[in-house]
Amino acid sequence: GTTLTRKGEINEALAVLREAEPGAGENADLFSALARAYRRAGDDRSAMAYFERAKALAPSDPDVIAGYEAAAHAYGHSLVFDGFAEHLNPDSNAASGSLIATVRVLPRLHLRAAGRVQNRAGSSDTLAGGGLLWRPARATTVGLNALGGSGNSSLPTSDLSGEVIHYAGVFEVGANVRDLSFAGVDVTAASPLFAWDSDRWRTDAPYTYSWSRFDASGDSSGDHSVMLRETWRGWRRVWLNAVYAYGIESFEELTADRLSSLGSTTIATGVQFRMPSLTAITTTWEHQWRSNDSEIDRLTLTIVQVFP
């Protein structure tokens, strides 16, 4: 059954494993094999049930624990806090925090509620909204999000986005479209997405083309952005990452003051700790050189708590 799962013959694997189950008794290896086959079949609910049974029988088996935690992160509810503090040279500071709650309402459908608060240059802005994450097929996910805020001077007044990702073995391919409205400026961005994910290494390489339209002057301009992120899973619970980006490194940090000078170069490095409690803590330091001869340093903290 395990061999068939590795070969991608999932229906045959499940048939063999289910036939063996009645006579196998309380067998952690069989439960783990069933869990992985159900996960490959796109049935995360059954995968979680079998991983929990395997984990109860073999609580110190690293393969069982890793499979259980990966399934829980994909299937469970979650609460995410993301915040940063940045210093812009010369003397200017900003701070931001966001909270995202994701609730599974159907085995393949999660709903999201999100809010962000940001203080910059003496002003305070807010964004709030929600979205969904839907998996229409075993290896395809679709995400939609809509956020808005009234009277924002730095953050957008509306932020609409849609994303499709398809998983093909060690590769992930997809696309993201985003539309942001600031006071007097609209920005539309399209990104083809590509990632390569092996046992120890993950490479993310998105490219973005953005189009800005300025209401006051009637002018418009196009910009290109690229990013390369390398993640090394050197240890089971400690991951390291490094980032190089040119252009808009993150639309979550895009503010009104950046719209006239989107060109920038960013380097970043970070570390992620993944706890047995299904908590992931990531801290990242970034340094950015902007096209207007200013520089920023930013420290970001992200905490993810999953509830299976």
31-68 pLDDT, tens digit per residue, is 999 999 999 998 999 999 999 999 999 999 999 999 99
Q: What one-character DSSP code corresponds to residue 252?
A: G
Q: What is the pLDDT at residue 8?
A: 87
The alpha carbon of residue 221 and the mean position of all alpha carbons in its chain are separated, in whole angstroms, by 28
CA distance 301 to 184: 31
pTM for the full predicted model: 0.90
Phi, psi of 206 (to 5 degrees): -85, 150
Which residue has 């390489």 as its token pair?
205
Q: What is the pLDDT at residue 205?
A: 96
User: Nearest 5°: CA angle at 20, between 14 and 21?
Assistant: 85
Q: What is the pLDDT at residue 122?
A: 77
Q: How many residues does the chain have?
A: 308
Which residue has 């469970």 as its token pair?
76
Residues 17 and 33: beta-carbon distance below 8 Å? yes
Res 91 pLDDT > 80 = no
pLDDT band at 300 (very low <50, low <70, confident <90, very high): very high
Q: What is the pLDDT at residue 46?
A: 95
